[in-house]
Amino acid sequence: ETGVTQTPRHLVMGMTNKKSLKCEQHLGHNAMYWYKQSAKKPLELMFVYNFKEQTENNSVPSRFSPECPNSSHLFLHLHTLQPEDSALYLCASSQEGLPRPYEQYFGPGTRLTVT
C-alpha cells in the first residue's frame, strides 16, 4: 500500500463511450501525475499538476482531459478513445521541493481496454 489509490482497476469501453479514471493520494503531497504504460514502450508522462495547476501536458490528444480539483484528487476523463489507447494508466504523487524532490509514489494503475 503506497498511499495512492486508483479506481477502477479495470475498465473496458467502446470508442464512443465517456468514462473517467480516478486517483486519490493520502500522502499529503502537492504534485500529481498521469502516466501511460503500453507494452514495449517506456512509461509516458501525460500530465503533471503542481499545487492543482497543470504544469505539463506532453502533447496528449484532447480525447484525454485531466482534472485536479484539489491536491489529493486527480481525474482523467476519457472520450472517443481509439484502440491504441488501450494501456495501463498510472497515477503518481510527490512532494515537490527539498529534501526529496522527484520522489514519486505510484498507484496500482487502471488497465484500460478500448474495443
Partner 1 sequence: AQSVTQPDIHITVSEGASLELRCNYSYGATPYLFWYVQSPGQGLQLLLKYFSGDTLVQGIKGFEAEFKRSQSSFNLRKPSVHWSDAAEYFCAVAGGGSQGNLIFGKGTKLSVKP
Question: Residues in the site for partner 1, rule: CB under 8 A?
Answer: 2, 4, 6, 31, 33, 41-43, 45, 48, 50, 55-56, 90, 92, 94, 96, 99-109, 111
Burial of 13 per CB tally in 10 Å (0-12, 13-18, 19+): middle
Compute the least distance from the CB of residue 83 to partner 1, in Å.
21
Compute the least distance from the CB of residue 41 to partner 1, in Å.
8
The smaller minimum CB distance to partner 1, of residues 81 and 109, is found at: 109
- For cell 506532453, the residue is 58
The partner residues of 6 in beta bridges, in order of sequence, read: 23
The smaller minimum CB distance to partner 1, of residues 75 and 106, is found at: 106
- For cell 503500453, the residue is 38
Nearest CA-CA partner of 39 in 103, 101, 86: 86
Compute the least distance from the CB of residue 10 to partner 1, in Å.
9
